[in-house]
């Protein structure tokens, strides 16, 4: 599996770079690099539950949106190199702290490590669901590698217009890849399974409302509901947070209450039942975790039972 880093084509960028000696668009080589591993309480309710989701943040990104909330790690700052054995132990430590799941955040460019690491963790006793938390900029072929490894897909669907994807993410073909990869995710997890309020298997599609993009966002949720109905959950997000000054002036503000209410009303009009909405002041930098190597730098091996 690790040989996939040679002439890497894991993501739609298809850099064909030998990541053993260089880096591709993601900015990462062939050594696994993590920035944080800790309980996180601010995911969807069926992911965070009462104990928290065991989030593991990977350094680097194959998409690199200009408005990224995790801008520093997406652009390869910080982090710590980790072996596959250490990765498996980190997963087990999160399970021991009571995490409802292992939540792999921005994982695409490290799929070979993830497959081997999760397999090893399961051999050692990992029993909670594994969540693949992605931008949606995925190749269906790479998603297929996760069959039997990942239980829940928590994927973004950022754009439905290629010009918007090009402008904000330099990914003109984002829509084609997002559609194809989502189809593969639904094949792996065709319907939601929830026990005691916690998802065990399924697909959640996050739709982030950007300022001045209400019409396009409505188009996205219509496509999702027309295609998958209530076999997936749709998470309508208003948490867009301007992290830095942008050349596109609309991105320098949060979304308005009117914009978000209009989106919720439209979803209700479509008849969407399996949906999450956000309440309160979600557009705050305080909701963005500190990528300070929590759970990584001072990693301890799991205690014996």
Give the whole-angstrom CA distance, residue 168 versus residue 23: 22
pLDDT in the model for residue 71: 79
Return averaged pLDDT per consecutive 10 residues of the chain, 305 residues in all.
94 98 97 96 96 97 93 88 97 98 98 98 98 98 98 98 98 98 98 97 98 98 98 97 88 96 98 92 59 73 39
pLDDT in the model for residue 288: 66
For the chain, the farthest-separated pair of C-alpha atoms sits apart, in whole angstroms, at: 55
Tell me which residue of 195, 63, 41 sits closest to 128, measured CA to CA: 195
pTM: 0.94
Tell me which residue of 23, 8, 206, 173 sits closest to 105, measured CA to CA: 206
Packed helices 111-124 and 84-96: angle between N→C axes, nearest 10 degrees? 50
| Domain boundaries along the sequence of the chain | 2-287
C-beta separation of 211 from 253 below 8 A: yes
251 DSSP 8-state letter: G
147 DSSP 8-state letter: B
Tell me which residue of 153, 145, 151 sits closest to 201, measured CA to CA: 151
Say which CATH architecture domain 2-287 belongs to.
Alpha-Beta Barrel (3.20)
């Amino acid at each position: 599996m690790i040989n996939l880093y040679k002439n890497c084509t894991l993501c739609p960028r298809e850099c064909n770079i030998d990541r053993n000696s260089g880096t591709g668009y993601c900015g990462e080589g062939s050594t696994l690099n993590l920035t944080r591993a800790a309980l996180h309480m601010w995911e969807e309710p069926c992911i965070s539950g009462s104990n928290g989701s065991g989030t593991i943040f990977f350094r680097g990104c194959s998409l690199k949106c200009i408005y990224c909330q995790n801008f520093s790690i997406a652009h390869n700052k910080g982090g710590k190199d980790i072996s596959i054995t250490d990765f498996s132990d980190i997963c087990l430590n999160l399970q021991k702290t009571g995490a409802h799941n292992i939540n792999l955040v921005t994982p695409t460019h490290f799929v070979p490590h993830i497959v081997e690491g999760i397999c090893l963790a399961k051999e050692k006793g990992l029993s909670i669901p594994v969540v693949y938390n992605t931008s949606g900029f995925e190749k269906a072929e790479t998603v297929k590698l996760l069959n039997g490894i990942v239980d829940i897909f928590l994927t973004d669907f950022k754009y439905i217009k290629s010009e918007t994807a090009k402008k904000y993410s330099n990914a003109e073909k984002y829509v084609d890849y997002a559609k194809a990869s989502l189809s593969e995710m639904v094949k792996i997890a065709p319907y939601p399974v929830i026990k005691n309020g916690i998802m065990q298997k399924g697909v959640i599609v996050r739709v982030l409302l950007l300022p001045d993009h209400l019409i396009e966002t409505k188009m996205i949720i219509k496509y999702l509901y027309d295609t998958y109905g209530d076999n997936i959950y749709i998470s309508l997000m208003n948490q867009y947070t301007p992290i830095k000054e942008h050349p596109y002036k609309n991105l320098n503000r949060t979304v308005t209450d009117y914009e978000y209410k209009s989106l919720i009303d439209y979803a209700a009009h479509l008849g969407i039942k399996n949906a999450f909405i956000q309440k309160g002041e979600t557009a705050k930098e305080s909701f963005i975790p500190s990528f300070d190597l929590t759970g990584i730098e001072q990693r301890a091996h799991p205690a014996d039972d």
